[in-house]
Amino acid sequence: MNSGQENIIDRIEYLEKIALQLEPSAENRAALLNQIVKYSEDFINRIYEIPAFVNSTDKGKGILDYPISEVGSDITQLINLIKHNIDRPGLNPASGGHLGYIPGGGIYFSALGDYLAAIFNRYAGIYFAGPGAVQMEHMLLDWMAEIVGYPQSSGGNLTSGGSIANLIGIVAARDAQNLKAADFSRSVIYLTSQVHHSVDKAIRIAGLKECVIRYVTMDGRFRMDPSDLEKQITTDKNSGLNPFLIIASAGTTDTGSVDPMQDIADLANQNNIWLHVDGAYGAFFVLCEEGKKILNGMERSDSLVMDPHKGLFLPYGSGAVLVRDKQKLFDSFWYQANYMQDALKAQDQLSPADISPELTKHFRGLRLWLPLKLVGVAPFRAALEEKIMLARYFYHEIQKIENIETGHFPDLSVVTYRYLPKRGDANLFNEKLVKAVQEDGRVFISSTMINGNFTLRLAVLSFRTHKKTIDLTIDILKEKIDQLERE
Ligand X SMILES: *Cc1c(COP(=O)(O)O)cnc(C)c1O
Query: What minimum distance in Å lies between the beta carbon of 84 and ligand X?
Result: 27
Nearer to ligand X, 133 or 305 (CB): 305
From the number of C-beta atoms within 10 Å of its C-beta (0-12, 13-18, 19+), residue 325 rates as: middle
201: helix, strand or coil? helix
Nearer to ligand X, 281 or 429 (CB): 281
Nearer to ligand X, 249 or 430 (CB): 249
Q: Which amino acid is at 43?
A: F
Phi-psi region of 399 (alpha: psi -120 to 50; beta: other; left: phi over 0): alpha
Nearer to ligand X, 242 or 462 (CB): 462
Interatomic CA distance for residues 138 and 153, integer angstroms: 12
The residue of the chain with the least Cβ separation from ligand X equals: 162
288: helix, strand or coil? coil
Judged by CB under 6 A, the chain residues 54 through 93 that form the site for ligand X are none
Please report whether residue 100 would count as binding ligand X according to CB under 6 A.
no
Of the residues 102, 458, 461, 476, which one makes contact with ligand X according to CB under 6 A = 102
Please report whether residue 462 would count as binding ligand X according to CB under 6 A.
no
Q: Mark residues 211-230: x for contact with ligand X by CB under 6 A, - for none.
A: --------------------
Query: What minimum distance in Å lies between the beta carbon of 198 and ligand X?
Result: 4
Sole window of 28-36, 72-80, 155-163, 204-212 interacting with ligand X (rule: CB under 6 A): 155-163
118: helix, strand or coil? helix
Of the residues 113, 161, 169, 315, which one makes contact with ligand X according to CB under 6 A = 161
Of the residues 89, 106, 155, 162, which one makes contact with ligand X according to CB under 6 A = 162
Please report whether residue 198 would count as binding ligand X according to CB under 6 A.
yes
Q: Name 398's Cβ contacts closer than 8 Å, sequence gap at least 6.
A: 404, 406, 415, 417, 474, 477
- Cα torsion 197, 202, 205, 210: sign: negative
Query: What minimum distance in Å lies between the beta carbon of 279 and ligand X?
Result: 7
- 246 pairs with which residues across the strands? 190, 275
Using CB under 6 A as the binding criterion, the count of chain residues that bind ligand X stands at 14
Judged by CB under 6 A, the chain residues 266 through 325 that form the site for ligand X are 278, 280-281, 307, 319
Nearer to ligand X, 166 or 413 (CB): 166
Query: What minimum distance in Å lies between the beta carbon of 102 and ligand X?
Result: 5
CA angle 177, 182, 185 (to 5 degrees): 85
Query: What minimum distance in Å lies between the beta carbon of 153 and ligand X?
Result: 25
- 450 pairs with which residues across the strands? 453
Q: Is 169 within 8 Å of 321 (Cβ atoms)?
A: yes
Nearer to ligand X, 201 or 292 (CB): 201
In the DSSP assignment, the letter for residue 258 is B
Nearer to ligand X, 163 or 177 (CB): 163
In the DSSP assignment, the letter for residue 129 is T
Q: Is 445 within 8 Å of 103 (Cβ atoms)?
A: no
Please report whether residue 196 would count as binding ligand X according to CB under 6 A.
yes
Query: What minimum distance in Å lies between the beta carbon of 68 and ligand X?
Result: 28
Please report whether residue 259 would count as binding ligand X according to CB under 6 A.
no
Contacts 24+ apart (CB under 8 A), 358-361: 358/125, 359/125, 359/126, 360/123, 360/125, 361/124, 361/125
Nearer to ligand X, 242 or 255 (CB): 255
Q: By the criterion CB under 6 A, which residues form the site for ligand X? A: 102, 161-163, 166, 196, 198, 249, 253, 278, 280-281, 307, 319
